[in-house]
Structure 1
Amino acid sequence: MTVTIRPATPADVPTMLGFIRDLATFEKQPDAVEATEPMLHDALFGAHPAAEGLIADLDGRAVGFAIFYLTFSTWTGKRGIWLDDLYIAPAARGQGAGAALLQSLAGIAVDRGYARFEWWVLDWNTPAIDFYRAKGAIAQDEWTVQRVDGDALRLLAGRG
Protein backbone atom coordinates (compact mmCIF):
# COMPACT_ATOMS: atom_id res chain seq x y z
CA MET A 1 0.00 0.00 0.00
CA THR A 2 1.27 3.42 -0.97
CA VAL A 3 0.53 6.61 0.98
CA THR A 4 0.84 9.90 -0.85
CA ILE A 5 0.26 13.39 0.48
CA ARG A 6 -0.94 16.09 -1.86
CA PRO A 7 -2.38 19.60 -1.62
CA ALA A 8 -6.14 19.65 -1.37
CA THR A 9 -8.07 20.79 -4.43
CA PRO A 10 -11.56 22.26 -4.73
CA ALA A 11 -12.80 18.80 -5.76
CA ASP A 12 -11.73 17.52 -2.31
CA VAL A 13 -14.05 19.83 -0.38
CA PRO A 14 -16.95 17.35 -0.01
CA THR A 15 -14.58 14.61 1.16
CA MET A 16 -12.87 16.97 3.60
CA LEU A 17 -16.20 18.08 5.06
CA GLY A 18 -17.11 14.43 5.51
CA PHE A 19 -13.84 13.88 7.38
CA ILE A 20 -14.55 16.97 9.52
CA ARG A 21 -17.95 15.54 10.47
CA ASP A 22 -16.35 12.16 11.26
CA LEU A 23 -13.76 13.90 13.44
CA ALA A 24 -16.47 15.83 15.30
CA THR A 25 -18.29 12.57 15.98
CA PHE A 26 -15.07 10.98 17.26
CA GLU A 27 -14.53 14.01 19.51
CA LYS A 28 -18.04 13.50 20.95
CA GLN A 29 -19.49 16.63 19.33
CA PRO A 30 -21.37 15.30 16.28
CA ASP A 31 -23.68 18.32 16.08
CA ALA A 32 -20.94 20.96 16.43
CA VAL A 33 -19.98 21.25 12.75
CA GLU A 34 -21.48 24.40 11.25
CA ALA A 35 -19.22 24.51 8.19
CA THR A 36 -20.74 23.94 4.77
CA GLU A 37 -19.10 23.03 1.49
CA PRO A 38 -19.29 26.65 0.22
CA MET A 39 -17.77 27.92 3.49
CA LEU A 40 -14.94 25.39 3.37
CA HIS A 41 -14.32 26.09 -0.32
CA ASP A 42 -14.07 29.82 0.36
CA ALA A 43 -11.79 29.29 3.37
CA LEU A 44 -9.37 27.15 1.37
CA PHE A 45 -9.69 28.41 -2.21
CA GLY A 46 -11.43 31.79 -2.09
CA ALA A 47 -9.99 35.20 -2.84
CA HIS A 48 -8.41 35.41 0.62
CA PRO A 49 -7.71 31.85 1.82
CA ALA A 50 -7.73 31.43 5.59
CA ALA A 51 -6.15 27.98 5.59
CA GLU A 52 -4.48 25.31 3.51
CA GLY A 53 -5.29 21.65 3.22
CA LEU A 54 -3.51 18.39 2.54
CA ILE A 55 -5.03 15.08 1.52
CA ALA A 56 -3.63 11.68 2.43
CA ASP A 57 -4.27 9.14 -0.31
CA LEU A 58 -3.81 5.43 0.22
CA ASP A 59 -3.50 3.64 -3.11
CA GLY A 60 -5.16 6.61 -4.80
CA ARG A 61 -8.12 6.90 -2.41
CA ALA A 62 -8.48 9.78 0.08
CA VAL A 63 -8.24 8.38 3.61
CA GLY A 64 -7.44 11.49 5.61
CA PHE A 65 -6.70 15.17 5.65
CA ALA A 66 -5.04 18.02 7.47
CA ILE A 67 -6.09 21.66 7.56
CA PHE A 68 -3.60 24.24 8.77
CA TYR A 69 -3.08 27.97 8.85
CA LEU A 70 -0.27 30.39 9.63
CA THR A 71 0.58 31.83 13.01
CA PHE A 72 3.17 34.37 14.08
CA SER A 73 5.48 34.39 17.10
CA THR A 74 6.65 37.73 18.41
CA TRP A 75 9.36 35.87 20.34
CA THR A 76 10.91 34.26 17.26
CA GLY A 77 9.87 36.95 14.80
CA LYS A 78 8.74 34.19 12.45
CA ARG A 79 5.62 32.51 11.22
CA GLY A 80 4.53 29.05 12.21
CA ILE A 81 1.94 26.47 11.29
CA TRP A 82 -1.11 25.76 13.40
CA LEU A 83 -2.64 22.39 12.60
CA ASP A 84 -6.39 22.82 13.06
CA ASP A 85 -7.45 19.29 12.16
CA LEU A 86 -5.78 16.04 11.22
CA TYR A 87 -7.94 13.00 10.64
CA ILE A 88 -7.40 9.53 9.25
CA ALA A 89 -10.36 7.24 8.57
CA PRO A 90 -10.39 4.38 11.09
CA ALA A 91 -9.93 1.67 8.44
CA ALA A 92 -6.73 3.38 7.23
CA ARG A 93 -5.10 3.98 10.61
CA GLY A 94 -1.78 2.31 11.28
CA GLN A 95 -0.76 2.37 7.62
CA GLY A 96 1.39 5.49 7.72
CA ALA A 97 -1.02 8.17 6.52
CA GLY A 98 -1.00 10.15 9.79
CA ALA A 99 2.77 10.04 10.02
CA ALA A 100 3.04 11.11 6.38
CA LEU A 101 0.75 14.09 6.99
CA LEU A 102 2.79 15.19 10.02
CA GLN A 103 6.02 14.79 8.06
CA SER A 104 4.60 16.84 5.18
CA LEU A 105 3.46 19.60 7.52
CA ALA A 106 6.85 19.69 9.23
CA GLY A 107 8.46 19.83 5.78
CA ILE A 108 6.29 22.79 4.81
CA ALA A 109 7.35 24.60 8.00
CA VAL A 110 11.03 23.89 7.39
CA ASP A 111 10.92 24.72 3.67
CA ARG A 112 9.18 28.04 4.33
CA GLY A 113 11.52 29.00 7.17
CA TYR A 114 8.85 28.86 9.88
CA ALA A 115 9.81 28.52 13.53
CA ARG A 116 7.03 26.29 14.85
CA PHE A 117 4.48 23.62 14.09
CA GLU A 118 1.78 23.41 16.77
CA TRP A 119 -1.64 21.91 17.46
CA TRP A 120 -4.10 20.92 20.18
CA VAL A 121 -5.06 17.41 21.15
CA LEU A 122 -7.85 16.46 23.53
CA ASP A 123 -6.44 15.26 26.84
CA TRP A 124 -8.46 12.03 26.71
CA ASN A 125 -7.18 11.07 23.24
CA THR A 126 -4.27 9.02 24.53
CA PRO A 127 -3.63 7.13 21.27
CA ALA A 128 -3.08 10.46 19.49
CA ILE A 129 -0.99 11.85 22.35
CA ASP A 130 1.20 8.75 22.33
CA PHE A 131 1.54 8.99 18.53
CA TYR A 132 2.54 12.67 18.72
CA ARG A 133 5.06 12.04 21.51
CA ALA A 134 6.64 9.29 19.40
CA LYS A 135 7.06 11.88 16.63
CA GLY A 136 8.86 14.32 18.96
CA ALA A 137 5.98 16.57 20.05
CA ILE A 138 6.33 18.22 23.45
CA ALA A 139 3.29 19.13 25.53
CA GLN A 140 2.91 22.79 26.43
CA ASP A 141 1.03 22.01 29.64
CA GLU A 142 1.89 25.31 31.32
CA TRP A 143 -0.37 27.12 28.82
CA THR A 144 -4.16 27.03 28.94
CA VAL A 145 -6.46 27.77 26.05
CA GLN A 146 -8.78 30.73 26.39
CA ARG A 147 -11.79 31.25 24.13
CA VAL A 148 -14.50 33.85 23.73
CA ASP A 149 -17.32 33.07 21.31
CA GLY A 150 -21.05 33.50 20.74
CA ASP A 151 -22.79 35.93 23.09
CA ALA A 152 -19.64 36.43 25.17
CA LEU A 153 -17.76 37.52 22.04
CA ARG A 154 -20.46 40.03 21.14
CA LEU A 155 -20.51 41.32 24.71
CA LEU A 156 -16.74 41.72 24.81
CA ALA A 157 -16.91 43.58 21.50
CA GLY A 158 -19.45 45.96 23.01
CA ARG A 159 -22.14 44.70 20.65
CA GLY A 160 -24.15 42.60 23.10
Structure 2
Amino acid sequence: MIRPATPADVPVIHTLIRELAEYEKALEEARATKEQLHDALFGDHPAAHAHVAADDETGETVGYAVWFLSFSTWRGVHGIYLEDLYVRPTARGAGHGKALLTELARLCVERGYQRLEWCVQSWNAPSIAFYEALGARPQDEWTMYRLTDDALAWLGGGGQAA
Protein backbone atom coordinates (compact mmCIF):
# COMPACT_ATOMS: atom_id res chain seq x y z
CA MET A 1 0.00 0.00 0.00
CA ILE A 2 1.41 3.37 -1.07
CA ARG A 3 -0.03 6.62 0.22
CA PRO A 4 0.98 10.24 0.74
CA ALA A 5 2.64 10.78 4.10
CA THR A 6 0.81 12.57 6.90
CA PRO A 7 2.22 14.46 9.90
CA ALA A 8 1.74 11.28 11.96
CA ASP A 9 4.29 9.55 9.69
CA VAL A 10 7.14 11.93 10.50
CA PRO A 11 8.64 9.85 13.35
CA VAL A 12 8.82 6.66 11.27
CA ILE A 13 10.11 8.53 8.19
CA HIS A 14 12.79 10.07 10.41
CA THR A 15 13.76 6.60 11.64
CA LEU A 16 13.87 5.26 8.09
CA ILE A 17 16.03 8.20 6.97
CA ARG A 18 18.53 7.28 9.67
CA GLU A 19 18.41 3.62 8.57
CA LEU A 20 19.17 4.72 5.00
CA ALA A 21 22.07 6.88 6.21
CA GLU A 22 23.46 3.94 8.16
CA TYR A 23 23.11 1.68 5.10
CA GLU A 24 25.04 4.27 3.07
CA LYS A 25 27.71 4.44 5.81
CA ALA A 26 27.00 8.12 6.45
CA LEU A 27 24.93 8.17 9.64
CA GLU A 28 26.90 11.14 11.00
CA GLU A 29 25.68 13.21 8.05
CA ALA A 30 21.98 12.57 8.79
CA ARG A 31 21.44 15.56 11.07
CA ALA A 32 17.82 16.44 10.28
CA THR A 33 15.52 16.47 13.28
CA LYS A 34 11.92 15.30 13.38
CA GLU A 35 10.91 18.94 13.75
CA GLN A 36 12.84 19.98 10.64
CA LEU A 37 11.33 17.10 8.70
CA HIS A 38 7.83 18.02 9.83
CA ASP A 39 8.35 21.64 8.81
CA ALA A 40 9.83 20.65 5.42
CA LEU A 41 6.90 18.34 4.63
CA PHE A 42 3.96 19.98 6.39
CA GLY A 43 4.96 23.49 7.47
CA ASP A 44 3.67 26.80 6.12
CA HIS A 45 5.95 26.55 3.07
CA PRO A 46 6.57 22.85 2.37
CA ALA A 47 9.84 22.21 0.56
CA ALA A 48 9.26 18.52 -0.11
CA HIS A 49 6.67 15.77 -0.29
CA ALA A 50 6.69 12.19 0.92
CA HIS A 51 4.96 8.90 0.27
CA VAL A 52 5.12 5.85 2.48
CA ALA A 53 4.92 2.16 1.73
CA ALA A 54 3.06 -0.01 4.23
CA ASP A 55 3.04 -3.77 4.53
CA ASP A 56 -0.30 -5.02 3.22
CA GLU A 57 -0.78 -7.49 6.08
CA THR A 58 0.52 -5.62 9.13
CA GLY A 59 0.10 -2.01 8.03
CA GLU A 60 3.65 -1.32 9.27
CA THR A 61 5.48 1.41 7.35
CA VAL A 62 8.38 -0.33 5.62
CA GLY A 63 9.58 2.33 3.18
CA TYR A 64 9.35 5.89 2.01
CA ALA A 65 10.08 8.27 -0.82
CA VAL A 66 10.87 11.95 -0.23
CA TRP A 67 10.71 14.12 -3.32
CA PHE A 68 10.39 17.69 -4.52
CA LEU A 69 9.60 19.50 -7.74
CA SER A 70 12.39 20.28 -10.15
CA PHE A 71 12.16 22.38 -13.28
CA SER A 72 13.66 21.84 -16.71
CA THR A 73 14.45 25.01 -18.63
CA TRP A 74 14.85 22.86 -21.75
CA ARG A 75 11.46 21.18 -21.43
CA GLY A 76 9.71 24.15 -19.83
CA VAL A 77 7.90 22.03 -17.25
CA HIS A 78 8.32 20.60 -13.79
CA GLY A 79 9.67 17.20 -12.96
CA ILE A 80 10.11 15.24 -9.77
CA TYR A 81 13.47 14.89 -8.10
CA LEU A 82 13.52 11.87 -5.82
CA GLU A 83 15.71 12.72 -2.84
CA ASP A 84 15.33 9.41 -1.00
CA LEU A 85 13.87 6.02 -1.76
CA TYR A 86 14.29 3.45 0.97
CA VAL A 87 12.69 0.14 1.84
CA ARG A 88 13.73 -1.79 4.93
CA PRO A 89 15.89 -4.81 4.08
CA THR A 90 13.32 -7.18 5.64
CA ALA A 91 10.65 -5.85 3.26
CA ARG A 92 12.70 -5.79 0.04
CA GLY A 93 11.58 -7.94 -2.83
CA ALA A 94 7.89 -7.48 -2.03
CA GLY A 95 7.36 -4.69 -4.57
CA HIS A 96 7.38 -1.67 -2.23
CA GLY A 97 10.23 0.15 -4.00
CA LYS A 98 8.67 -0.40 -7.41
CA ALA A 99 5.29 0.72 -6.07
CA LEU A 100 6.79 3.95 -4.71
CA LEU A 101 8.49 4.70 -8.04
CA THR A 102 5.32 3.78 -9.93
CA GLU A 103 3.33 6.26 -7.84
CA LEU A 104 5.81 9.05 -8.55
CA ALA A 105 5.81 8.19 -12.26
CA ARG A 106 2.00 8.24 -12.17
CA LEU A 107 2.09 11.72 -10.62
CA CYS A 108 4.46 12.88 -13.37
CA VAL A 109 2.17 11.58 -16.10
CA GLU A 110 -0.98 12.93 -14.44
CA ARG A 111 0.52 16.41 -13.94
CA GLY A 112 2.37 16.69 -17.25
CA TYR A 113 5.82 16.50 -15.67
CA GLN A 114 8.42 15.15 -18.06
CA ARG A 115 11.18 13.90 -15.77
CA LEU A 116 11.58 11.68 -12.74
CA GLU A 117 15.20 11.87 -11.63
CA TRP A 118 17.37 10.72 -8.75
CA CYS A 119 20.94 9.85 -7.86
CA VAL A 120 22.32 6.52 -6.71
CA GLN A 121 25.71 5.86 -5.23
CA SER A 122 27.99 4.13 -7.71
CA TRP A 123 28.75 1.27 -5.27
CA ASN A 124 25.07 0.40 -4.82
CA ALA A 125 24.87 -2.37 -7.45
CA PRO A 126 21.54 -3.86 -6.22
CA SER A 127 19.77 -0.49 -6.52
CA ILE A 128 21.36 0.25 -9.90
CA ALA A 129 20.18 -3.12 -11.24
CA PHE A 130 16.69 -2.48 -9.83
CA TYR A 131 16.44 0.98 -11.44
CA GLU A 132 17.75 -0.22 -14.79
CA ALA A 133 15.27 -3.12 -14.77
CA LEU A 134 12.51 -0.50 -14.57
CA GLY A 135 13.88 1.31 -17.63
CA ALA A 136 15.85 4.06 -15.88
CA ARG A 137 19.15 4.97 -17.52
CA PRO A 138 22.23 6.54 -15.93
CA GLN A 139 23.15 10.05 -16.98
CA ASP A 140 26.85 9.36 -17.39
CA GLU A 141 27.57 12.67 -19.10
CA TRP A 142 26.80 14.61 -15.93
CA THR A 143 28.84 14.89 -12.74
CA MET A 144 27.03 15.99 -9.62
CA TYR A 145 28.65 18.70 -7.49
CA ARG A 146 27.80 19.77 -3.95
CA LEU A 147 28.78 22.61 -1.63
CA THR A 148 28.28 21.99 2.11
CA ASP A 149 29.66 23.01 5.47
CA ASP A 150 32.89 25.06 5.29
CA ALA A 151 32.96 25.37 1.48
CA LEU A 152 29.37 26.62 1.42
CA ALA A 153 30.04 29.09 4.25
CA TRP A 154 33.17 30.32 2.48
CA LEU A 155 31.46 30.91 -0.87
CA GLY A 156 28.29 32.26 0.75
CA GLY A 157 30.45 34.69 2.68
CA GLY A 158 31.78 36.15 -0.58
CA GLY A 159 34.83 33.91 -0.67
CA GLN A 160 36.01 35.23 2.67
CA ALA A 161 37.05 33.22 5.73
CA ALA A 162 33.99 32.21 7.75
Q: Distance in 2 between matches of 1:112 and 1:138?
A: 22
**One-letter amino acid of the structure 1 residue matched with residue 35 of structure 2:** P
- The gaps in structure 1 that reach 5 residues or longer are none
% identical equivalent positions: 55
Q: Which whole-Å deviations, capped at 9, do the CAs of 1:71-116 have from their partners, x for residues lacking one?
A: 0000000100000000001110000101100100100111111010
Q: Which residue of 1 aligns with 2:146?
A: 147
Q: Which residue of 1 aligns with 2:7?
A: 10
| 1:26-105 mapped onto 2 (5 Å cutoff) | 26-59=23-56, 60-105=59-104
Q: Distance in 1 between matches of 2:95 and 2:150?
A: 42
**One-letter amino acid of the structure 2 residue matched with residue 50 of structure 1:** A
**Structure 2-normalised TM-score?**
0.95
SS in 2 for 1:31: helix
Moved over 4 A (4+): none
Q: How far does residue 125 in structure 1 lie from its aligned partner after superposition?
A: 0.4
**Structure 1-normalised TM-score?**
0.96
Instruction: Give the CA RMSD over aligned residues.
Output: 0.8
SS in 1 for 2:28: coil
- The gaps in structure 2 that reach 5 residues or longer are none
Q: Distance in 2 between matches of 1:57 and 1:150?
A: 35
**Are residues 1:138 and 2:137 paired?**
yes
Q: Distance in 1 between matches of 2:33 and 2:132?
A: 33
Q: How many residues align?
A: 157
